[in-house]
Chain A
Amino acid sequence: MASPAPKPKYDHTRTREDCDNYYNTVLAALALINVVRWDDADRKLDPDSKFGVGRRMTTSDKNPISASTNITPDIVLQRKGTGLIGEITNSLTEKNEHWIEKLKQVRKYDDALRGWWTKDENLDLHDIAFIVQQSRAVRVADLLTKEKRSKKGEIKFKRPAAVIGFNRHSGATKEYVDLMKFFGDLSDADLSERLRHGIPVPQNILLEVYGDRKFVDFEPPTAYVLQLMWDTVFPSYLSEFPMDAANRGRTLLTVTVDRISDDMQKNFGFKVEDARDAEVPARTWIKKALEHLVIFGMAGRTDEKTYQIQYRSLRGDHLEYFGGLIFKNKSKLDLLAAPLQPMLPGIGAPLPPHTPPGLAGTSSAQRSDVPKEPPTA
């Protein structure tokens, strides 16, 4: 008789790599913002420059991909009357079809977008930057070059467009995030040339100038959100909830999705300054993380927006702890995300035990409140 297949074990390296890749995109976004804001002549950041992460821009009715609708590029920058739309991906795939599909999507930014920081929200000129991991930048640049040369090529840009690779490297004295242009040009010839040679941005400068930013406008791995919530957000509420000896060392925290989201946005995301700014991190990510805690038996749902957390000290590495729990509860979590099966008429659809209200029956791709699909490796 064949012995049963060995039970798969949790591999924390993968979770940590996913979180690291996510954080790399945060760094890439901040590095690009810093490079564009930098006034090389004055040797300082231009105080009049504007930027937004996940800012909602409105397309024109002539947009070939998404006409007359709101789109949310990862980065929107404006300096000295010129704009820049940046789209970041940390995908490491080597499949050309994936990249072609991505680039086709980027074409929606090659449009007279509305939503700039001007009186009428319009801007005469903006550039488009597609930011990818440096190891994939040549592949993407080659695809665009091929498309540009081909008469039948579908991916062509009317506005200045560039492919910029990002990479982290250890210098002699510091850690850097490098940005290097592999294709195209930007309308600022000087910046374009400097990017061609590569610009190293010290990582500590990003931390000190932009604060402790930990999110961009696409969804991070849930273990990342859970670790951050457990280690930094929940402890800040502890003083409001007395520890009861009856709870065996646990403190019951009553929290709302809105409160956690607000606190995480203020401390680790980007401020919402006008109606066009997106909330980063999104409330849906927070709710999803809280639902995970419900499944793990570490929280209970009071109503759609309110949860009761059983807070306690956890041992060891908390990222590994939550990564392990996600792995262990994969089948239950899959149920949480799965769309409901069609039911016979007259028979109510039974919800999975921990399905969050409002999420039942929809996949993340169908929901309009999910700003972006998470990048795939």
Chain B
Amino acid sequence: MPTLFDETKFSVFAGGKDLPSLLNRLDRIALEGKQQVQVCVIASKHSILQLLRDMESRGSERITVNEIADETTGSLPGNVATFSLKRRYGVKERKSVSGDFIVLPDVRGNMNLIIFIEPLVFWHEGLSPLLDSAYPKLVRPFFTQMEMHQFVRNTQTALPTHRVQVLRTSSRERLKAGDARKKYASQLKWTDSDADTVFREAAANNEWFRSIFFELVFLKEGRLSSDDTFGTISKYGYLSCTRRFNLFYHSVVEPMMDYGEARLTFLQGRTRTQTTNFIPKPVKIEYPSDVFSSVQQIGKLLEILKRFKHGSCSVLHGNPYLHVSMLDNYDYSAADVWVLNKNEVLIVPQIRTSEASLKRIISHIFENFREGKLGESRA
């Protein structure tokens, strides 16, 4: 039960909405029931508040978005806003979920934050589908396995008396068997190991995490004791925690925004224009080894590209080198994908290619084939 000195969801939402005071209150929050403090990092080159207000005015039977009038934000016009969301879902069984969220626009460049104190189901069945429906105007960033590991390391460095103990991982594993019909297996794994060991083992087993669920522990009288702080970090810019929000904000959320902004900046401006003399600006994914020395790997990549959701893949050449034309049906961005070097995938933006779409193609390759290092392609 919250004491008089604790913050509650209502006091957090009612107080000042400037970031330092929000962080302060969130750090002192006492959660009730299944509530967790949750944050989503989302990129947008548009005004996120305007997009949400547009959703509010459109409205539908299934999704209702309403901006909550807030006297405290009166002095910060356009900076912070609070919304409520109700979403109905389910076919056989009609269900609904509702909750409130605070939107902090443009915290770092084009990176926005959405903060909410709700049960996890609000995220999975309410807010996450709403944000996905606004793609490509709202784009969720993705993080590599190395970046995910860095978030955990940051947490450990910031709190050296404690250790991040991973309790559950949601991962994908590349199937090596040549006759496997699926290219990867998804699995939920329960564990109780320190984060470094979990990430090392994942690398050795060719696995990569979609999310990790962890607990902060500390050594007491030679035994590991719980700090009662639990959290989840997802590959797609999401964090939830039960305590110590300030710690996670600086060690996880801020780096998420930094990586996300850097990636967005790297991928943007690749549409061919008069000013760039219509010269394409290709992006390469580099691998540390010659992964394409076997034709089977090129075949695997091709099969993966053909499974690009909400898009198409036209094959111009499949073997021994790869050349396909990808079209993203969300915003009709197009890019050619080539394998011309044994350790590299080359992505050549076509006449119009948005950064959101490039991110989606790269994320698709990272997630379903393997992660590599992004870079400029120069002769």
Contacts and interface: CB of A to CB of B under 8 A. Distances in A.
Name the prevailing secondary structure of the A interface residues: helix
Interface in B160-189: none
Interface string A13-39: 000100110010000000000000000
A314 B325 CA distance: 13
Interface residues of B, number: 37
Contacts of A70: none
B283 interface: no
* Size bracket of the A interface: 35 or more
A231 B320 CA distance: 24
A207 B346 contact: yes
A212 B280 contact: yes
A209 interface: yes
Nearest to A223: B314
Interface in B303-352: 306, 312-317, 320-321, 323, 325, 327, 329, 332-334, 336, 338, 340-344, 346, 348, 350-352
B193 interface: no
Contact of A238 (B278, B332, B336, B378): B332
A235 B338 CA distance: 21
A175 B351 contact: no
Interface stretch (A2-10, A84-92, A139-147, A316-324): A316-324
B325 A207 contact: no
B134 interface: no
B221 to A, nearest CB: 57
B171 to A, nearest CB: 31
B244 interface: no
B204 interface: no
Given A208-B379, A232-B350, A175 B278 contact: no
B279 interface: yes
Interface stretch (A103-111, A166-174, A338-346): A166-174
Given A20-B317, A317-B313, A207 B338 contact: yes
Nearest to B343: A173
Contacts of A174: 340-342
A315 interface: yes
B282 interface: yes
B327 A235 contact: yes
A233 interface: yes
A207 B348 contact: yes
Given A212-B336, A232-B351, A267 B290 contact: no
B334 A235 contact: yes
B272 interface: yes
A20 B316 CA distance: 7
B351 A236 contact: yes
B282 A266 contact: no
Given A170-B321, A173-B290, A204-B346, A227 B282 contact: no
Contact of A319 (B316, B321, B332, B352): B316
B377 interface: yes
B351 A315 contact: no
Contacts of B279: 211
Contact of B312 (A209, A238, A316): A316
Given A208-B377, A232-B334, A266-B278, A314 B312 contact: yes
B316 A235 contact: no
Interface in A173-215: 173-175, 202-205, 207-209, 211-212
Q: Which of B279, B316, B321, B344 has the most CB of A within 10 A?
A: B316
Nearest to A23: B316
Contacts of B379: 204-205, 208-209
A203 B334 CA distance: 21
Given A170-B321, A211-B279, A318 B327 contact: yes
A118 interface: no
A263 interface: yes
A231 B341 contact: no
B316 A318 contact: no
Contacts of B327: 231, 235, 318
A329 to B, nearest CB: 19
Contacts of B344: 204
Given A231-B314, A235-B327, A212 B340 contact: no
Contact of A236 (B306, B312, B341, B352): B352
Q: Which of B282, B323, B334 has the most CB of A within 10 A?
A: B334
A331 interface: no
A313 B344 CA distance: 30
Contacts of A208: 282, 377-379
A241 B334 CA distance: 18
12 contacts: A20-B316, A23-B323, A173-B290, A173-B342, A174-B342, A202-B340, A208-B377, A212-B280, A231-B314, A235-B327, A317-B312, A319-B315
Given A16-B316, A175-B341, A204-B377, 19 more contacts: A16-B315, A23-B316, A170-B321, A173-B341, A175-B321, A204-B346, A204-B379, A205-B379, A207-B338, A208-B379, A231-B314, A231-B327, A232-B325, A232-B352, A236-B352, A266-B272, A313-B329, A317-B314, A319-B316
Q: Which 6 residue pairs of A and B lie closest in terms of their CB atoms, listed nearest first?
A: A235-B332, A208-B379, A232-B350, A236-B352, A204-B340, A318-B314
